[in-house]
Amino acid sequence: MTGHLIALDQGTTSTRAIVFDAELRPVAVAQREFPQLYPRPGWVEHDPEEIWASSVAVIAEALARARLEARDVAALGLTNQRETAIVWNRRTGRAIHNAIVWQDRRTADHCARLVSEGAEPGITEKTGLLLDSYFSATKFAWILDNVEGVREAAERGELAFGTVDAFLIWRLTGGAAFATDATNASRTLLVDIARGDYDDDLLATFGMRREWLPEIRDCAGDYGATRAELFGAPIAIRGVAGDQQAAVVGQAC
């Protein structure tokens, strides 16, 4: 191991990996765009398999450009588009519906109904967020209510719900880690930010269950290691943070 670091930036329109040397100087970059899907006016989706494939590809490409192997890397950090919602099968790791992207407005009416019922002040007090379709909770609720068989499968414990970071960590670790960081979790409308944990009342408001969601960890925490077969050897995942924040690898936030 030479102390190199990799930052994986999974963004809204492309995925990028940057390799840094031990002095945090960038030595190689790889980037790939992926398709944006617009099934209806106001709807924005991504194919989670495109997200996954582009993430693996840019890590491998950046390593090759840096003339490094996985064993030369001390840690990988991940930053991602934040509020985008994905639901996937726990056995296969494959999503059961396209990712609903943060810009998507299909749940605006759901939010308006909750506002009219007086729910917003209590939600804002706990989450620090306005009640808006921008955030993940109503996206999860839409998938539960509109994709055939999802609620039943979720109640059987077959599905996982998370933002892009949790999906990628699951796939990178082969399901060994089901985790998100505080910055991503705080954008779901499901977390009491004063306690740093999911809130039972918020979960009930959106028809969610705690056991369907990833464990919330520190952004500089331990998120397991990539499967050896992906890059030739395991790479430790040591930092996760939401979009517009630097991925932290082995350092305090």
Q: What is the pLDDT along the chain (253 residues), one digit of tens a residue?
A: 468 999 999 999 999 999 999 999 999 999 999 999 999 999 999 999 999 999 999 999 999 999 999 999 999 999 999 999 999 999 999 999 999 999 999 999 999 999 999 999 999 999 999 999 999 999 999 999 999 999 999 999 999 999 999 999 999 999 999 999 999 999 999 999 999 999 999 999 999 999 999 999 998 899 999 999 999 999 999 988 876 444 444 443 3
In this predicted structure, what is the pLDDT of residue 247? 42
In this predicted structure, what is the pLDDT of residue 253? 34
* Alpha carbon distances (Å) from 89 to 109, 151, 153: 28, 12, 9
Q: Which domains does the chain have, with CATH numbers?
A: 4-242 (3.30.420.40)
132: left (phi over 0), alpha (psi -120 to 50) or beta: beta
Q: Tokens 């759901």 sit at which residue?
A: 110
- In angstroms, the CA 214 to CA 148 distance is 23
- 3-state DSSP assignment of residue 115: helix
- 3-state DSSP assignment of residue 185: helix
In this predicted structure, what is the pLDDT of residue 47? 98
In this predicted structure, what is the pLDDT of residue 243? 66
Q: What is the pTM of this model?
A: 0.93
